[in-house]
Amino acid sequence: MEADILGMSLTKKWAVILIGPPGSGKGTQAELLAEKFGLFHLETSKLGEEKINNPELVRKDQEVAEAKRLYNKGELFPPPWTVKIMVEKIRELAKEGQGIVFSGSPRTLHEAENELPILEEAYEKDNVRAIHLNLTKEESVRRNSSRRVCKANRHSIPDFPMFKDITTCPKDGSELIKRSLDTPETISVRYEVYLRQTQPILSFVQEGGYNIIEIEGEQDIEKVFDDILKGLGES
Ligand SMILES: [Zn+2]
């Protein structure tokens, strides 16, 4: 591609949504897409944590204080608040002409119903791309019960041969740990929750007239990324 030859980045004003069960590689693929196309990697959890870790905001904003209280108890952020902060951030990024890639959002039909119209309005329908990363429950459980995460930012290090010898996080150098939450039982539950709460988004998106790029997630990272690029018409 011409832009490649000139050494320029292939910046895109896309809004890319990745939908897939735990362990399907949403975060990893989002990072790769962000890097290749100059997209902002928007993570709900990170955005929410930024807010609740801002003491000024917690003091001033009752909703933020409530989100922090729930978070500290190990519960999820309140869905209406999640939608609110996501919509705010989407509008802010769109205004700057910045493309976005989401991982882990929308997570519920409620979120999708609220976020998709905003995306369509801010990015135009053609630029909103939906990708479904398929992964069986067996593989989800296998991958997640043996994955490691970094201490500083919870970057996930999947259980792939290429990562076997890594002992610190490639992104921030922090220690890699196994989370006690990552047992086969809890992962199995998370997969069922995904099927019930998140997967219905696919039909909703399809009914909205979008094509869903179907990807076989049970391949290595490079192959999955290649297939995504093909699906996006970029390879
Ligand atoms: Zn890290």
Give tens-digit pLDDT for 53-110. Answer: 999 999 999 999 999 999 888 888 898 999 999 999 999 999 999 999 998 889 999 9
**Measured CA distances, 106 to 5, 38, 143, 151, 158 (Å):** 36, 21, 22, 25, 22
Find the range with the poorest average confidence among 12-21, 175-184, 193-202. 175-184
Expressed in angstroms and rounded, the spacing between residue 15 Cα and the centre of ligand 1 is 24
133-152 residue pLDDT tens = 999 999 999 988 888 999 98
Spatial separation of the C-alpha atoms in residues 51 and 57, rounded to whole Å:
7
């320029």: which residue's tokens? 8
Expressed in angstroms and rounded, the spacing between residue 94 Cα and the centre of ligand 1 is 27
Signed CA dihedral, 176, 169, 101, 210: sign only: negative
Expressed in angstroms and rounded, the spacing between residue 179 Cα and the centre of ligand 1 is 14
Expressed in angstroms and rounded, the spacing between residue 93 Cα and the centre of ligand 1 is 24
**Measured CA distances, 225 to 28, 46, 109, 122, 207 (Å):** 9, 23, 26, 26, 26
Given a cut of 50, whether residue 2 has pLDDT beyond it is no
Q: What ranges do the domains of the chain cover?
A: 2-135+198-231
Long-range CB pairs of 64-71, under 8 A, 24+ apart, other chains included: none
Given a cut of 80, whether residue 6 has pLDDT beyond it is no
Q: Supply the CATH classification number for the domain 2-135+198-231.
A: 3.40.50.300
